[in-house]
Amino acid sequence: MMKPLIAAGLLTGVLCGAHVMAAQTAASPAPPSAGSPPNVVLLVHQQFLPGKAGERERLELETCRKFDEFAIPIPWIEMEAVTGTPGALFFDPANSFDEVDRAGQLLSEMYGAHPELAQLQNGIEELIASSKTVFARRREDLGNLVDRMDLSKAHYWRITVVNMRPGRDNDFVEADKARVRAQRDTPWVVYEVDSGTTLPTFLVIETLRSFADADRKPESTSAANKGQKDRDQVVKDAYLSVESNLYGVHPEMSHVSKPFAAGEPEFWSPAPAK
């Protein structure tokens, strides 16, 4: 959301979940859906001061309302940690780093036109105990069944952070291919960190419809077992660390485009309580 964008001094992608582009000719490939994994992401993990949860939520809800009121086409998805270090994780999508720059210019203009946005941002920043920002780009050559992933239908995300030994990037590629052999029916998308943490680092994102899906087990076949064995060996030799955590999506503190919300309107735009 606006909060992590300002904390980073930059901004997220723009327009329709970073996927609505100019009209294309009939000969052009079909554009990705609004819920498709973006090419570039800004991830911001924030921890807040004790006892400030209610105030933080109030300010973030008001920020979302203001972005809607002023029709600011800047999307973000807000998640809360279910496992691991407590805090909020903001996922800000973009098609490219150029879009990040353009979105930063847009936000600067919006602050000038609507100073109440800056006041809300300042109020949120006063509640932040710590913040970590990471930029990453999607590795289109990695992952599995990415075309089946629809972020708009995900209520939970599993994000695995993999820190590799220096010079062992290619080993991650081999491990990812081995995982495909071991878990053919599990979709995931891979991002390679560009800045913000120790390199080389990869982010593996899986989306879940429900908390119960977090316990789903991969298939057990001879090919799957062989793939898992190959992957385990690469992990042992080339990985410095692996941390996997679960996050729950908070639609009320997210700001997504109408095409994105249309993927599951009951979740992203629930009817007001009577």
Q: Which residue has 């913000």 as its token pair?
A: 196
Provide block-wise average pLDDT over 10 residues at a time, the chain (274 residues): 44 36 37 88 95 94 95 96 95 91 89 93 96 96 96 97 92 92 93 92 95 70 63 76 95 96 92 50
pLDDT of 4 reads 47
Could you give the CA distance from residue 221 to residue 160 in angstroms, rounded to a whole number? 24
pLDDT of 198 reads 87
pLDDT of 94 reads 93
What are the structural domains, with CATH classification, of the chain?
2-20+33-136 (3.30.70.100), 139-246 (3.30.70.100)
148-158 pLDDT per residue, tens: 999 999 999 99
191-216 pLDDT per residue, tens: 999 998 988 999 999 999 988 887 77
Taking the chain, what is the end-to-end CA distance rounded to the nearest angstrom? 28
Could you tell me if 193 and 236 are in contact, meaning their C-beta atoms sit under 8 angstroms apart?
no
Could you give the CA distance from residue 49 to residue 129 in angstroms, rounded to a whole number? 5
Q: Which residue has 């600011």 as its token pair?
A: 72
Could you give the CA distance from residue 119 to residue 106 in angstroms, rounded to a whole number? 17
Q: Kindly list the distances between the CA atom of residue 23 and the CA atoms of 48, 178, 218, in Å, as whole numbers in the listed order.
A: 42, 39, 40
Residue 171: its H or E element: helix 169-182
pLDDT of 109 reads 93
Query: Helix, strand, coil % (nearest 5) of the chain?
Result: 40, 25, 35
